[in-house]
Amino acid sequence: MPSSAASAASTILRTGLVAGTLDITAAITVYAFILDKVTALQLLQSVASGVYGRQAFTGGLAMGLAGLLFHYLIALTFTTAYYLVYPYLPFLQRHPVISGIVFGIVVWSIMNLLVLPLSNCATRPLQLGPSLLGMAIIIVMIGLPVALLTKKLR
């Protein structure tokens, strides 16, 4: 089990980049291409709107790139949190699939019940269908990859 700071940083970075890439790819695929609710750029701008508010939607590609950067920072933050608690919760080590599902639910809950309402994003009341879809994406694309990769790489 690697214990050096460099190994920890490598594991967190690799895991966070994988999870962040899977999540943003799934979000763009579902919301921009399958459901045709937004364009890929608008989706990324919506992430940037958490910091910049409505101005993010008039900022073009620069705001889309800012949104992508914020998305990866958020993914890396959640990955770091999981990595740091991993050695202290044996359940995470013994049951990575269940842990990943629970972690995905926790991430969705923190983002939708705490972070988004406190940000500059325009928020709407939660609805069951869209909430379950968003939660499923986060479970499969963030929760499970973070749990499984942390077990493998730590």
State pLDDT tens for residues 89-121.
999 999 999 999 999 999 999 999 999 999 999
pTM of the model: 0.93
Alpha helical stretches, state H, 28-125: 40-52, 60-85, 90-94, 96-110, 116-118
How far apart, in whole angstroms, are the C-alpha atoms of residue 144 and residue 135? Answer: 12
